[in-house]
Amino acid sequence: MIKSIFILKGNTGELIFYKSYEEIFNINLTGSFLSAIFSFLKHSLKTEQLSEIEVGPFRFIFEIERINKDELMFAIFCDRTDNLVELRSQLKQIKDQFLKKFDINDLTNDFDGEITKYYEFEHNIHDIVEKKKELISREIEKELMDVFNELHSFSNMVISSALLTQTGRVIVSFLHPSILSEIIRLLEGRFISGNYKVKELISLEDFGILSLKGIDENYLAVIIFKNNCPFETSLIITKKFTQRLENIIL
């Protein structure tokens, strides 16, 4: 789970905004630490590509926004086992909303150290991170289960299946935990490279034929077929299955 959220000036480590859910460490010292790490990467390794840092059972996730000669650093501190895709999506929303809400010139050359005006951003944090929204209703979940049961009864080529969000949250899943983890890692890799949404993907894996198909920008249908299933058959089944899911949830 998320422990803390930071927004700070990359060059100086000055803290602009933070939200803590657990008091684990000194907030001001953490800002200096993150700034030092960023400075080391720029000057020693000649890179500004700071994505994440793992520290024992924890992880820092970063988004950097270049502003003239300065940078703003947005960071989430969380458990290492948390869903990286979903957290990156939330952090990107935090960055986008912050830059839209406030005049970034006040944070560069004109920065006077006054940060109280940024306290109101906590409302945005609440909407992005804390507000728990039910993805689907109980009635829709029941309809979805009927479609999944029909899928598994219809074809002996289907091993397992799932309905996820594009950020890896599970809505319905018959996947083995290890396969689900592999799919989430796949989504993580795509997200880091800038491919935030999966439209369609099919590949042959050790565990079978993996078929992914996006349902608008929010949902992702997953089917695992047996290795000997013809690709054309898997594509047809995936298309029909996804259409039925789409008719229910959209």
> Is 27 in the same domain as 125?
yes
> Is 49 in the same domain as 157?
no
> Is 74 in the same domain as 149?
no
> Is 28 in the same domain as 64?
yes
User: Residue 138: its pLDDT value, please?
Assistant: 86
> Is 13 in the same domain as 41?
yes
Percent of the chain scoring above 70 in pLDDT: 90
User: Residue 109: its pLDDT value, please?
Assistant: 66
Q: For 89-98, 111-120, 232-241, which range has the lowest pLDDT when averaged over its residues?
A: 111-120
Q: What are the structure tokens assigned to 67, written together?
A: 């502003």
Q: What is the mean pLDDT of residues 85-109?
A: 87
> Is 171 in the same domain as 64?
no
User: Residue 46: its pLDDT value, please?
Assistant: 47
Identify the residue with better confidence: 240 or 29.
240
Q: What is the mean pLDDT of residues 97-125?
A: 86
Q: Which of 79, 106, 130 corresponds to the end of one domain?
A: 130
Task: State the residue range of the domain holding 105.
Answer: 2-130
> Is 6 in the same domain as 115?
yes
> Is 18 in the same domain as 126?
yes
> Is 71 in the same domain as 164?
no
> Is 230 in the same domain as 169?
yes
- Number of independent structural domains in the chain: 2
The contacts of residue 72 (CB under 8 Å, 6+ apart) are: 7, 8, 9, 10, 16, 64, 65, 95, 98, 99, 104, 107
User: Residue 42: its pLDDT value, please?
Assistant: 62
pTM of the predicted model, to two decimals? 0.70
CATH code for the domain in which residue 221 is found: 3.30.450.30
Distance CA 195, CA 186 (A): 11
User: Residue 163: its pLDDT value, please?
Assistant: 96
Beta-bridge partner residues of 9: 72
Contact 8, 15 (CB under 8 A): yes
Identify the residue with better confidence: 208 or 57.
208
Contact 102, 95 (CB under 8 A): no
Q: Which residue has the tokens 């109101």?
A: 120
What is the pLDDT of the chain when averaged over all its residues? 86
> Is 48 in the same domain as 142?
no
Q: For 135-139, 149-153, 161-165, 175-179, which range has the lowest pLDDT when averaged over its residues?
A: 135-139
Q: Which of 106, 130, 154 corresponds to the end of one domain?
A: 130
Q: Which of 130, 146, 177 corresponds to the end of one domain?
A: 130
> Is 74 in the same domain as 161?
no
Q: What are the structure tokens assigned to 233, written together?
A: 């058959």
pLDDT digits (tens, 9 = 90+) for 183-199: 988 888 887 777 888 99
